[in-house]
């Protein structure tokens, strides 16, 4: 699985102009299941992200996790993280998991993050979503299982 983490002071996702998920201080996580990914990889990725020390401590050093700060996560599915731009001008997405597999792994990832003690809200899998955020830092990190 692939994820793009953005440390945020706030983030929200809307579908058809209606906000369906939001978080305050914490993480916006754009996540993509790749072909061959398993539930175990979704669990492992969630555990890594919950423990990742990318929030400042009292000295201003990145030494605290989203759990440590009592933060939350907004998890949004984004198959375009599987983009292959190595040929031509149009990206290919054949490395992404099938929609059924992708949905199952996306949902498992979000539940695994909850199991790690991180409050989670989500977008809507497969929907045309509008995501708004205030990136804190800015801090943006790419991570794979």
54: Cα separation from own chain's centroid: 14
Catalytic residue (choose from 6, 79, 109, 122):
79
Q: What own/partner pairs with CB < 8 Å and gap ≥ 24 does 87-96 have?
A: 94/35, 95/34, 95/35, 96/32, 96/33, 96/34, 96/35
Instruction: Tell me how many domains the chain contains.
Output: 1
Catalytic residue (choose from 80, 98, 130, 140):
80
Catalytic residue (choose from 6, 12, 55, 78):
78
Q: Is the pTM of this model over 0.75?
A: yes
Residue 93 belongs to domain with CATH number: 3.50.80.10
Question: What are the tens digits of pLDDT across the range 78-132?
Answer: 999 999 999 999 999 999 999 999 999 999 999 999 999 999 999 999 999 999 9
Q: Which residues form the domain of 69?
A: 2-144
- The answer to whether 98 is a known catalytic residue is no
Question: What are the tens digits of pLDDT across the range 17-74?
Answer: 999 999 999 999 999 999 999 999 999 999 999 999 999 999 999 999 999 999 999 9
The predicted structure's pLDDT at residue 33: 98
DSSP assigned state of 114: H
Question: What are the tens digits of pLDDT across the range 8-32?
Answer: 999 999 999 999 999 999 999 999 9
d(CA 55, CA 95): 32
On whether the CB atoms of residues 20 and 123 are closer than 8 A, the answer is yes
- The answer to whether 55 is a known catalytic residue is no
Is there a cis peptide before residue 138, judged by omega within 30 degrees of 0?
A: yes
């Amino acid at each position: 699985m692939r994820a793009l983490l953005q440390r945020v002071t706030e983030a929200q996702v809307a579908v058809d102009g209606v906000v369906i998920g939001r978080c305050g201080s914490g993480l916006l996580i754009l996540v993509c299941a790749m072909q061959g990914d398993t539930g175990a990889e979704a669990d492992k990725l969630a555990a890594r992200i919950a423990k990742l020390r990318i929030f400042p401590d009292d000295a201003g050093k990145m030494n605290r996790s989203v759990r440590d700060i009592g933060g939350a996560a907004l998890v949004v599915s984004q198959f375009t993280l599987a983009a292959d731009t190595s040929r031509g001008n149009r990206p290919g997405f054949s490395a992404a998991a099938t929609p059924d597999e992708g949905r199952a792994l996306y949902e498992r990832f979000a539940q695994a993050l909850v199991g790690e003690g991180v409050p989670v809200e989500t977008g809507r899998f497969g929907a045309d979503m509008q995501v708004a955020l205030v990136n804190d830092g800015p801090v943006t990190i790419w991570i794979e299982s």
